[in-house]
Chains A and B, each alone.
Chain A
């Protein structure tokens, strides 16, 4: 029988779906009987979902872009800020959020 501390130690693999069948059943059995561990796992799932929302972009200072262009010997007016290019393989312009 797993102890509560064993559940937190296996929480990563359980939530990420990496436990084998027997181990997974043992965790599920414990969770069915232990409200404290059930609550912990639920909160950890929500925390991980919240972490995903932190994926973001930072608008660079135009001076940073200028410095990069200069270092690479690119004239600043080769293209404008509105210049778009796709790395998605689809026809629409690249959405930065999808990268």
Chain B
């Protein structure tokens, strides 16, 4: 059983509870201090604030079924290791790193093969777009894609992107989510996934090309 820090009950009266919480955790350092000292209100605030993003990230990586377990394990790990957090990154980055690791572990347990090796050794994505001379044999249609602003209402495209992200091989999916959706740096992604930058770039390229292939089909006949 992990040894959890002793959590201290709030010292303020319940009537002033929310007011005092606002006053206490207006900065990240105050929140981190609260977490490190085992302040229950700090844990409540952090859990209420960050769980929605952690849950969304986990769902994308491991699917709906395992996401809640990933989030629970993440908070257990935070409770165990908050004392080691040195504020070299933001608290949210640290939390997402833990959640990503937990999700990756879950994927590893579900897979018989080592995930990364099998995906990197896989052949290049064959799009069928080019001939032997390296020229387009089947160029993209000229139809316009919705701009990001328009696509906010174009739920079909978003659903289609979601569906195809889910179909990507696990590590390819994680790289694409972390880089293109969560806007993490290559350094951060390499650290979390314990991959070289060249491997991360290969996996990202393959993931993006698969999505481009999907978009092409979507544009040509409206199917997803």
A→B interface (CB under 8 Å): 3-6, 8-9, 11-12, 36-37, 39-40, 43-44, 46-61, 64-65, 67-69, 71-75, 78-89, 91, 93-94, 96, 99
Nearest-Cβ distance from residue B77 to partner chain A, whole angstroms? 11
Give 24 A-B contacts (CB < 8 Å), ordered by A residue: A47-B145, A47-B208, A50-B148, A51-B161, A54-B181, A55-B182, A56-B56, A57-B55, A64-B51, A68-B47, A68-B72, A71-B72, A72-B75, A74-B40, A75-B9, A75-B40, A78-B9, A79-B45, A80-B18, A84-B25, A85-B46, A86-B25, A87-B91, A99-B92
Contact between chains at A43 and B50 (CB < 8 Å):
no
Q: Which residues of B contact A71 (CB under 8 A)?
A: 72, 75-76
Contact between chains at A52 and B181 (CB < 8 Å):
yes
Q: Which residues of A contact B4 (CB under 8 A)?
A: 72-73
Question: B220 at interface (Cβ–Cβ under 8 A)?
Answer: no
Nearest-Cβ distance from residue B36 to partner chain A, whole angstroms? 14
Task: Name B15-46 residues within 8 Å CB distance of A.
Answer: 17-18, 21-22, 24-31, 40-46
B→A interface (CB under 8 Å): 4, 7, 9-10, 17-18, 21-22, 24-31, 40-53, 55-56, 59, 67-68, 71-72, 75-76, 79, 90-92, 129-130, 133-136, 139-140, 142, 145-148, 151-152, 157-158, 161-162, 165, 176, 180-183, 201, 204-205, 208-209, 211-212, 215
* A45–B45 alpha-carbon span in the complex (Å): 37
Contact between chains at B151 and A74 (CB < 8 Å):
no
Given A56-B56, A58-B56, A79-B17, decide whether A47 and B215 contact each other with a Cβ distance below 8 A.
Answer: yes
CB < 8 Å A-B pair total? 198
Smallest Cβ-Cβ distance to B176: which chain A residue: A51
Given A53-B148, A99-B92, decide whether A78 and B181 contact each other with a Cβ distance below 8 A.
Answer: no
Q: Which residues of A contact B71 (CB under 8 A)?
A: 60, 64, 68
Nearest-Cβ distance from residue A27 to partner chain B, whole angstroms? 14
Q: Which residues of B contact A64 (CB under 8 A)?
A: 51, 55, 68, 71-72
Q: Which residues of A contact B30 (CB under 8 A)?
A: 86
Contact between chains at A46 and B139 (CB < 8 Å):
no
Which of A3, A68, A91 has most B Cβ within 10 Å? A68
The 7 closest A-B pairs by CB, nearest first: A3-B134, A85-B25, A85-B45, A57-B52, A36-B139, A87-B28, A5-B134
Contact between chains at A50 and B158 (CB < 8 Å):
yes
Smallest Cβ-Cβ distance to B211: which chain A residue: A47
Contact between chains at B22 and A12 (CB < 8 Å):
no
| Cβ-neighbour of B140 out of A9, A40, A54, A96 (below 8 A) | A40
* A24–B167 alpha-carbon span in the complex (Å): 32
